[in-house]
Chains A and B, each alone.
Chain A
């Protein structure tokens, strides 16, 4: 997987924004991660300590909010929560669906000082 790359991407964003705000470190970072984003939160946590070493995020608290995935069934238009991409519509059992939520991978906010 690719959680280390993603962690490095978060570090880049945090460094850029911290410098822009004329501050030197991040005290709290809030992330939102959709269940279909392709990110395993445990793997991200594992990669985190190595990725943030010697950066503005090194001593930051990290808060991750997992987001549920949602889809609309193309056949019956029912909106339902997905656990897996291949889940079928609970009403009409069609697998044709449009995913409307769950791929988010977002730095929501930074508390810098």
Chain B
């Protein structure tokens, strides 16, 4: 279990499957043998990056995506910012032009994958169990099941969590942080790691602006303090307002 937010990464409880096939309960037990041979001490100078294994897994994914010309986005946000709604709207509006694939990350349930599946888009759900973020190897396993076509777009919806997913490269081309205007303007400086590692920032629920006391410019200023490269898109997944700029960005990235 994680010391601060109470989450953990119990790999044995991770479920990776399509909505059609999913089953419950995978349990593996680990044991470790120990001998107590007190031979001479040895100092190993390692200088080894602790995230080395995840970075290696992410590089493996990145190589696969590059070879197949698959453009991959990692969507991150707090729970409830509207990641799935933005995805649904984007897929609905662009599915005639672009071949999409989706990996959904949640601790529990196939609800999000079911929503994507209803749009006839290939989708794999990763249930992380107690885990609070997706890791490179989970994407590797999910992609093996998903078998995305060449020249397609893979959308990875990370677990709703503005802290933990920031450290874990999945092999994506770009990272998209989503914030909604029902949250505080100062989220970027409260949770700077996520905004620091993102390439673009989608500000969602803009249709609610007349009813809220929210200063969009203040949010942008805070976000730019953390990451001056951030590009912003103001949208409403509900009304469709502003979505075309985000689509334009996506299409331009595909041309690169």
Contacts and interface: CB of A to CB of B under 8 A. Distances in A.
Interface of A: 1-6, 8-10, 12-13, 15, 17, 21, 23-25, 27, 31, 36-38, 40, 42-47, 50, 54-56, 74, 84-86, 88, 95-96, 105-113
B68 interface: no
Interface string B35-54: 11111111111111111111
Given A1-B164, A85-B196, A105 B2 contact: no
9 contacts: A1-B4, A6-B167, A9-B51, A10-B50, A13-B50, A17-B46, A38-B167, A108-B47, A111-B41
A1 B42 contact: no
Nearest to B48: A107
B44 A109 contact: yes
A21 B132 contact: no
Contact of B43 (A10, A36, A110): A110
Given A106-B47, A112-B41, A112-B42, A4 B9 contact: yes
B48 to A, nearest CB: 5
Interface in B213-233: 222, 224-228
Interface of B: 1-5, 7-9, 31-32, 34-54, 131-133, 135, 163-164, 166-168, 188-189, 192-193, 196, 222, 224-228
B35 A24 contact: yes
A85 B193 contact: yes
A23 B32 contact: no
A109 B1 CA distance: 25
A74 B133 CA distance: 32
Contacts of B48: 13, 17, 106-107
Nearest to A48: B3
A4 B131 CA distance: 9
A88 B225 contact: yes
B185 to A, nearest CB: 13
Nearest to A110: B44
B225 A86 contact: yes
A113 B40 contact: yes
A4 B192 contact: no
Contacts of B31: 54
